[in-house]
Each structure stands twice: as C-alpha cells, then as structure tokens.
Structure 1
Amino acid sequence: MISVSRAIGAADFEIAAEFCDALAAWDAAEVQAYGVAPEEVLAIYHGETRSSLAAKYSSADAKMYIARWEGSPAGCLAFAPFDDATMEIRKFYVDPEFRGKGIGSALMRAVLAEVEKGHRRTIVAHTTVYMENAISVYEAFDFTRCPPFRQMPDSIAPTEVFMSRPI
C-alpha cells in the first residue's frame, strides 16, 4: 500500500536527505559513462544539506513529498517556483527496492494536485538521459521535451533532458 504525505518535520527531511544522497551517488556514478566528471554533477545538482532541504521545501509554494510503501520510506519528489509563471519539479527519487510499484506515479499525482491549486500555469522538469524511469513517469503525466530553460556547462549539456507541461 502506497501513502504519500508532505514532508513537514525533521524526521521527514532526514528521510528526504537520505534519498537525495542516494540520488546524488547514483547520478555521480551514471554520468561517468558520458565522460562527465562526477564532481561537476555533484557541485551543480546535489549541494543541499539537510537543513537547506528543510528550509527550501517548507514554504507555502515549495514542498517536498515522501512516499511510503507499507510504512517504509520509498521515495521523494519536490517542487519549487522556477519563475512567476512556472513551477519546477525537483529531487525525484524512488528507492530501487520499491521501483515498479507505482511509487513515482503516486508522488507525481500528489505533486501535480498541489501545484494545480496555485497560480502558476506551467510545470517543468530537468532530468538526464540516463534517468529513463523518471522520463517515463514524466511522459505518462503528459510532460513533453522542451528547449532548455537554464544554461548548462558544455560538458553536461548533451546529457540533459528538459520537459514541461501545462497545468
């Protein structure tokens, strides 16, 4: 049984931080196959601390969600404003032990339901070519590839995937 709830306390953000650490380690390992230094990816995408995650995703318009499978932490997904008209999905991770159980889809439904309550009319996602499971979930929720919405170093740009959808 899947449950999804907003991260609100220190224990929730500790779980989220552990997932973000696992995502960072996996990302750093995978990117090497594309000739990118893992340190570069870690510096650009994975610089948050436990306290900065809580500070960033505890506001009215930036939230972190934790999914649980039969009570065990299984994944996380967050969103934050990109600009005045756009939200951005961040920190999408499902523990490998729980993949294939609908965790990513449950997280996406929860996040989109929350984002739809706001005034922003577009949601974007920035992922990478080797995050195939994430891309599949985005596509299942009607995200399509779009032009880059942020500058990337030339060394990383070939691995990046930008997606968006209207709200």
Structure 2
Amino acid sequence: MTDQRGVVVGHWPGQDPSAEGGPAELLAAYHLQTQAEKGEAVTDVDGLPDRYRAEVLDPQTAFVDDVVLVALSGDTAVGCLVVTAPVSGQCEVKRLWTDPSFRGRGIASGLVSAALAHAVESGVGMVRLSVWAWRADVIGLYERIGFTVSDSWDERAQLVCMQRAV
C-alpha cells in the first residue's frame, strides 16, 4: 500500500466492489465522463454501452481475472485503476480515475505506481495502456512515469496507445 497525502492506495480490500462509495461509483463516473467527452453523453449508467454498464453493475465479475487498485480516503474510494491479468508477458492498465474533488494530490500517480509494482510482482515485462488523445494531462502523467507512445493495437480514432517496460 502507498500513502498519498492521507490517501492509501492498495488492492481493493475484499469488500463488495459495488458497495456504496466503492469502485463501482468511480467506474460509473469514469464511463459517464468518457461518453460525454466522446460526444455521446448519457444521463445515467443505464445509457452506457453494454460492456461499460456491466463493469459498473458488477465489477467483481467484469474484472474477475484482473486486479482492481483503489485509493481510499478513510473508508471512501476516491480513485481506481484496473490491471489486467498478464498475457504473453504483458498487462494493461485501464480505467484510471480519481474523484475530481481529490485531484492534485498524487493519487493517479500513486495508482499507476502501484500498478507497475504489481506488474513486476506478476513477472510482467511490459505494461501497456490506451488513453484518449484529448486527455493531455493524463498523457503527460503517463509520460512522466516513463510510458512512451507506441504503435496502436486499437483501431478507435483518437486513441493513443502507450507502453512501458518494467
């Protein structure tokens, strides 16, 4: 676990991830914001594409083989990140989100650092991720942590693919 100015980052500690104040709320905020940024705003979780709605409604099943990292302020989840199960010596970082009222405290970098440490512990040699091109601040964060832009493995327009050896 990592302490980020009063916020602890670690593996989701076994509570129901759909419980109030848990990763499900953070995932909902992440997906609703992303849909709005893509110009496809929806009013609530029910309007999300099936794949994303499933993550919010049942993150435990959606990420059954993955690791969900959560930043906690007391008992409240204020940030999350998913590290996929290793495949062919690499894993992927997904769904990085920090509650807007907790931004600027190093939570996102703490979550990414914890993901990299998990990757090392898992014997992974490469961590990859994709991020929307309009999220310049997040791209800058990833670059500061050592990720570099790579050839795309995803054909969606405006998606930047990045990777980092660990």
TM bucket normalised to smaller: 0.7 to 0.9
91-100 or 72-81, which deviates more: 72-81
Residue of 102, 109, 113 corresponding to 1:105: 109
8 A contact 2:54–2:62 mirrored in 1? no
Whether 2:1 is the aligned partner of 1:2: answer: no
8 A contact 2:82–2:95 mirrored in 1? yes
8 A contact 1:79–1:88 mirrored in 2? yes
Could you tell me which runs of 5 or more consecutive residues in structure 1 were left unpaired when the two chains were aligned. none
8 A contact 2:86–2:122 mirrored in 1? no
For 2:72, give the aligned amino acid. R
8 A contact 1:57–1:64 mirrored in 2? yes
Correspondence 1:52-71 to 2 at 5 A = 52-59=58-65, 62-71=66-75
The match for 1:165 is 164
Cα displacement (A) at 1:5: 1.8
- Change in Cα spacing, 1:124 to 1:111, as seen in structure 2 (3 Å) is same
Identity value in percent: 22
8 A contact 2:84–2:92 mirrored in 1? yes
- Change in Cα spacing, 1:44 to 1:116, as seen in structure 2 (3 Å) is farther
The CA RMSD measured in Å over matched residues stands at 2.3
- Change in Cα spacing, 1:80 to 1:29, as seen in structure 2 (3 Å) is same
Q: What is the TM-score normalised by the length of structure 2? A: 0.81
Deviations 1:71-119 (A, max 9, x none): 4321001110363121000111001000001110111111111111122
- 2:122 aligns to what SS in structure 1? coil
For 2:34, give the aligned amino acid. D
8 A contact 1:78–1:91 mirrored in 2? yes
Could you tell me which runs of 5 or more consecutive residues in structure 2 were left unpaired when the two chains were aligned. 1-5, 43-47
